[in-house]
Structure formats: C-alpha cells, structure tokens
Amino acid sequence: QKEVEQNSGPLSVPEGAIASLNCTYSDRGSQSFFWYRQYSGKSPELIMFIYSNGDKEDGRFTAQLNKASQYVSLLIRDSQPSDSATYLCAVNAIQGAQKLVFGQGTRLTINP
C-alpha cells in the first residue's frame, strides 16, 4: 500500500460544477496535509493546507480532513477551465519530520 493514494484520473467536470478530489494516507501519525496544483511543465503551487479535523475554506477551495478515516479532500466550487491541472496531495508523515510524501496526483479537466 502506498503511503499517500490518489485516484490518478482523469477527472472530468463541467464548468461551474464542484470538483471533488480525494486522498487517503496510511500513517496515523500524520500531522499536516497539503494540496498543490501543478500545471503541465510547471512546478507544484500550494493551494491549501490543513492541520485539524474539519473543513477549511479559502475562496472557491475547501479542504476537508478526517484523521479517523485517514482521508483528506479538496473541493473546488464554480470550477473554471483554468482549474484544469494535476492536483497533488502531500502529507508530512511523521511528527517532527520535514519531508512531504506525495500522492501520484489527480488530473482534473474542466470542460467549458
């Protein structure tokens, strides 16, 4: 089992709809959770981070964390074609450790 798992997609969503991206992780000691957006040929760009159970909203983006289920998700409301990218889920696996463990990414396409 991979440490961080994502559905690789592609996930296709019509413009204006809600895109839902999911991620599971294996290490129960994980403390910090990050979502990065990566356009083709570009570097990962931080979108959201969440440390506590529950929801965290920033504009059109909402991160949701459920530590009991070892599950983190990203919702994108009012999806735009510019949201088309690969979304990477990343986890700091162990408290005090610095490295990020990434999932393989979910490719999202927003259809006009």
| Footprint of another protein (CB under 8 A) | 4, 31-32, 34, 36, 42-46, 49, 51, 88, 90, 92, 95, 97-105
Residue 10 or 14: which CB sits closer to another protein? 10
**C-beta separation of 73 from 25 below 8 A:** no
Residue 44 or 72: which CB sits closer to another protein? 44
Spatial strand order of the sheet with 19-25 comes to 4-6, 19-25, 71-76, 61-66, 54-58
Distance CA 1, CA 83 (A): 29
Residue 30 or 79: which CB sits closer to another protein? 30
* Closest distance to another protein from the beta carbon of 14 (Å): 25
